[in-house]
Every structure is written in structure tokens, then in C-alpha cells.
Amino acid sequence: MTPADIRNVYGARAVKVVLAKDQPQYTPLPCLYVPEHGYVLTEWELTAEELAALLNGGRVRLYTYTFGQAFQPIQLEAVTAEDAMPVDTGGDA
């Protein structure tokens, strides 16, 4: 899976950030931070091989690195292409 670049459709209520952009040991992760609701939103695109694995009974794994700290609540969901956030075209939104 690869992180998808998403456009900020929440306006001033959300801040577009890229996590780990200056940490070469990690893949940069585009996301929207929505402080009024207390969450960070990311979206991911599956490769054809990953999609085929899921269609054939495979599973999605989620690794959450807590680095010895308290575990934070998470949510994982699947959305249709129509419900996915619009792809960022490079302009401010």
C-alpha cells in the first residue's frame, strides 16, 4: 500500500501535514490533522497484487508503533473511490 496525497476539504478546520518528511528511515505520510475532532486522517492506495490478495480472502494488517507509550484508539475502514478524499493537484485548498 502507498499513502495517497489528499486535499484539505475541511478548510480552516484541518491542517495538511506530511509526517516523517524529514526522517529518511520512514516513508513520508501525507495527512490531514483535524484538531476539533482529535484525529489525523490518512488514505492509502492498494496495488493490484494487494487488492487481489484481499479479494481472495486475505487480510489487512495494521502495525501501530507505540514506542512503549499508551496505545491510542484507531479506526480502519474501506471506502469507495467516490467516498475517498480528492487527490491533491498541488494547489492550495
For the chain, the domains span: 2-46
Distance CA 83, CA 90 (A): 20
Q: State in Å, rounded, how far the first CA of the chain is from the last one.
A: 25
Distance CA 93, CA 90 (A): 9
Q: Residue 34 is placed in which grid cell?
A: 483535524
DSSP bridge partners of 44: 3
**What phi and psi, each to the nearest 5 degrees, are found at residue 61?**
-110, 140
For 15-65, write each residue's pLDDT tens digit. 999 999 999 999 899 999 988 888 899 999 999 999 999 999 999 988 888
For 60-86, write each residue's pLDDT tens digit. 988 888 899 998 888 888 888 777 776
